[in-house]
Amino acid sequence: MTDERDLETLLDLDGFIIEQVHGCWVKFEVRLTPKTITVPHGIRYSLTLHNQHGERIMGFDNAHAVKIKNKSKYQGRKTYDHRHRHSKDEGIPYDFVDAHQLIKDFWLEVDKILSKLEEDQ
């Protein structure tokens, strides 16, 4: 169950765009929504990292269903929670635990990608 303070923190991030290194930036879109089978926690979210050209290079969201790798069907997965590893992938399932874990997982991925960019320069 999502702790109320963590949920409020996540909701407060809605609309924020935060500049990062190398011209990258992160964007938060978060809102409450009725609980459904596909969104059982009642939170619609899109947490994304963009490059200097505005292209999404990584993100966590629950806007659509994703196929399980090497499977032609959605394999009974009911929730829409997933993450995108780069701009062109269709997403891989993400196990949403709570708002705190979502924020933590997102920033860990952002840090990994930005560290990699640092190494490549």
Name residues whose C-beta falls within 8 Å of residue 85's C-beta, 6 or more positions apart in sequence.
58, 92
- Distances in Å between the alpha carbon of 25 and those of 49, 56, 104? 6, 9, 17
Domain ranges of the chain: 4-115
Distance separating alpha carbons of residues 111 and 108, to the nearest angstrom: 5
Entry pTM: 0.88
Closest among 20, 94, 16, 99 to 57, alpha carbons compared: 20
Name residues whose C-beta falls within 8 Å of residue 23's C-beta, 6 or more positions apart in sequence.
51, 52
> What is the predicted pLDDT for the residue at 118?
86
CA 94 to chain centre: 9
Reported as a single tens digit per residue, the pLDDT across 11-68 is: 999 999 999 999 999 999 999 999 999 999 999 999 999 999 999 999 999 998 887 6
Reported as a single tens digit per residue, the pLDDT across 54-113 is: 999 999 999 988 876 655 554 556 789 999 987 778 888 999 999 999 999 999 999 999
Of the pLDDT bands very low, low, confident and very high (cuts 50, 70, 90), residue 1 is very low
> What is the predicted pLDDT for the residue at 102?
97
Which residue carries 């952002």 as its tokens? 110
